[in-house]
Amino acid sequence: MTSARDREHRRGSKKESRAMAAEPLGLPGAREDGGERPSLAASPEPRSARVSRALVRFGVVGVLLLTTLLYLPSLRGGYMADDWFHLVALSQLKEIFTDELNLFTLVNSGDQVVAFKHFGLMPWWTSEEMRIAFYRPIPSILYWAEHRLFGPSPAVAHLIGIGWYVFSVYLVSRVLARFFPERSAMHVLAVLIFALDDAHALNIAWIANRNETIGGSLVLLSLLAWLRYREGRGRYHAPLVALAYVGALLSKESALVLPVFVVAHALVFPAREGEPLPAQPAPPGAPPASSTMPSLWSRLRPHLGLILTLGAISVAFIGLYFGFGHGANSVYYINPLRNPELWAEHFFRSGFYHAVILATGVPLHVLSSTPVHDYPLAALALGAVTLGFWLLAYRWLRSDRPLRFFLLTMLAGQAIVTTSFPDPRNLFLPSIGFAYVVTRVVEEALRRAHAAVPGAPRSAPEARQIRGVRAVLGTMVALHLVLAPVLCQVCVYVVNSFEGRYQTLKESLQAEVDYARLPPDGMQVFFLNWHQREMTAVYGLYLREVLPTGVDDYTPWTENPRLSYVDKLYQGLGAERIHYYSLSFVHGDVEATVIGDRTIELQPKQGHFFPTLFEQLYTTDDAFQVGQTFDTGRFKATIVETGEDGTVKRVRFTFPEPLTSPRYRFLVYDGTRFVRAQLAAPAHASR
């Protein structure tokens, strides 16, 4: 099939007005091996970018193989963070899964928060209004089946995660094929840019976050069914759009953007290739050609039934989702219904971070919680690259109709992900459109370079233009084909290194606690600081799995149908003879001052308490006040001093037993391991 762009080039200027009046959809009909760009593309594709159909297929297969190889190092990684909660739910507290076929509800009531704080599974500063209660039954069922078939095997889990990602890359190739000319090398490049995008790395390396890839794959299946329906491939594709959409919603909440994708496509591409546009009456005195330009309503009307169906599914899902108590609420996971002011405050902030992540691959916010303030030069440079890229894309591609479609999908994705913290994990769907935009910029740069006559004399402006084009090509290659896969490996390495950090924690405790002789009335371990904030989430569940708890059989509580979930927590966890509590997540030195035989005060030597999103995960943006007290049932924490900006500077901890009690262990990280903190008056440094 000849591409729409090539046909337009052959028509010439005599038929330009007719082509503008009957602009095609940009779809390749029934072809599966390539797509077609709309007629408004700036110019014909360079011949060097046209390859055989078999070579395009070989290129896509090559990308899938490269993607697999890129992430094979993650097989060496283990479990981290939420993975341990899923393991406990599948092996001990099975009703977490069986009640709703869902593993993604960590806490959905104030009673659960109180219980988790009592046993150290959440820190003392956790707000009782904090919620993490997502509803994702499809990935949950898949995790359960995997656990039943293979047991707790992180290597198998990582391999399955790689498989899901490779499958999603294949679906992206099928979607993008409809927006590039048939037999286009640019199609392969777009798929490669998506596959190498480091924003996806944590979705593959972190087992518990596989739901992002599963949900994204189902969104792609729904979108692909819609595109085939628009191509006239059969009416059965219309119900497939709705069915896949339901599956996507039951995998990840961000799938709510799918109806926006459908509406955007219907608006931007109002007719299928070779069909006339929906006509509307021309205004009196208007040129005849304007009678073929459709209104927004006439573009949506042919698909109104399907669009309304998707809308009804969305409304029903949102109503049932929140009606049954699902959803999150914290500074980390912002709920726009519970905290609209905080959501609005973070909308543009996270939008800036997400734009930088897509354009440069650099997750700027991981440098600090306030990177623009702390690293102004880096933020300025990355922001300038991001702004420059989009200005260039607008200048070169403003007539590119698929760009308008993908821009709408990216904006829709941004509106969803700002309900959470700025994070590359949530950019799976927006990165599809971004891969298209990057590829089109590269293609346009190649076209401009191809247009230059080798050896011909050039004026100074022409020479500058050629240098600029080469700079664009070099930057795109460096960022998306060199830096991106390197950052993917960095992410995999960091996740794999959690095994070593967990091992440090485990070995330190084994050296400081005699697990063979735990006191009959129990022991409590208190951490004054931490060596890695990222591993603070549910670290207590990890310790329960790898170190003795004093309980060999939990079934009398976990399988007792007369006990509620909270009662099982109190009786099952209460029977354990050791529990762990973080007095801070401070990453560095803390000053510990003994106030009395049962009281100490902690103060970071640099900075303050709760400086990062890892601490704020447990808060709901309520300001801390001097004199405010948190009672966990095992100790009390009282805010003693705050800064002018409201940051917490000093906290007093009061314990029911003397600090010298044999049931207590106070540990501090000394730079290499956790060691016993020497608590004695007068005030002294803990390290």
Q: For residue 94, tell me if it sits in a domain.
A: no
Residue 533 and residue 456 share a domain? no
CB 123 within 8 A of CB 117: yes
**Residue 62: what pLDDT?**
95
CB 28 within 8 A of CB 178: yes
Domain span at residue 568 reads 500-685
210 bridge partner residues? none
Below-70 pLDDT ranges, the chain: 1-51, 234, 272-293, 364-370, 415-422, 451-459, 462-463, 680-687
Peptide bond connecting 682 to the previous residue in cis, omega within 30 degrees of 0: yes
Residue 241 and residue 263 share a domain? yes
Residue 560 and residue 489 share a domain? no
Residue 537 and residue 441 share a domain? no
Q: For residue 125, tell me if it sits in a domain.
A: no
Residue 403 and residue 514 share a domain? no
Residue 314 and residue 167 share a domain? yes
Q: For residue 298, tell me if it sits in a domain.
A: yes
Residue 435 and residue 573 share a domain? no
Q: For residue 186, tell me if it sits in a domain.
A: yes
Residue 481 and residue 363 share a domain? yes
Last residue of a domain, one of 464, 495, 526: 495
Residue 536 and residue 433 share a domain? no
**Residue 494: what pLDDT?**
87
578: Cα within 13 Å, side-chain hemisphere:
25
Q: Compute CA distances 281 → 18, 290, 298, 301, whole Å.
A: 18, 9, 11, 16
Residue 565 and residue 470 share a domain? no
Query: What is the signed CA dihedral for 423, 429, 433, 434, rounded to 10 degrees?
Result: 20
Last residue of a domain, one of 462, 480, 495: 495
Residue 294 and residue 367 share a domain? yes
Last residue of a domain, one of 495, 527, 548: 495
Helix (H) or strand (E) holding 265: helix 258-268
What is the DSSP track for 282-299? PPTT--GGGGGS--HHHH
Q: For residue 127, tell me if it sits in a domain.
A: no
Residue 596 and residue 666 share a domain? yes
**Residue 641: what pLDDT?**
93
DSSP H helices, 418-516, are: 430-451, 460-477, 484-496, 498-512
CB 49 within 8 A of CB 185: yes
**Residue 2: what pLDDT?**
44
The total number of structural domains in the chain stands at 2
CB neighbour class for 56 (10 Å; exposed up to 12, middle 13-18, buried from 19): buried
Q: For residue 113, tell me if it sits in a domain.
A: no
Q: In what order do the strands lie in the sheet with 629-631?
A: 629-631, 636-642, 648-654, 599-604, 590-596, 684-685
Q: For residue 520, tell me if it sits in a domain.
A: yes
Q: For residue 105, tell me if it sits in a domain.
A: no
Are β-strands 590-596 and 599-604 bridged in parallel, bridged antiparallel, or unpaired?
antiparallel
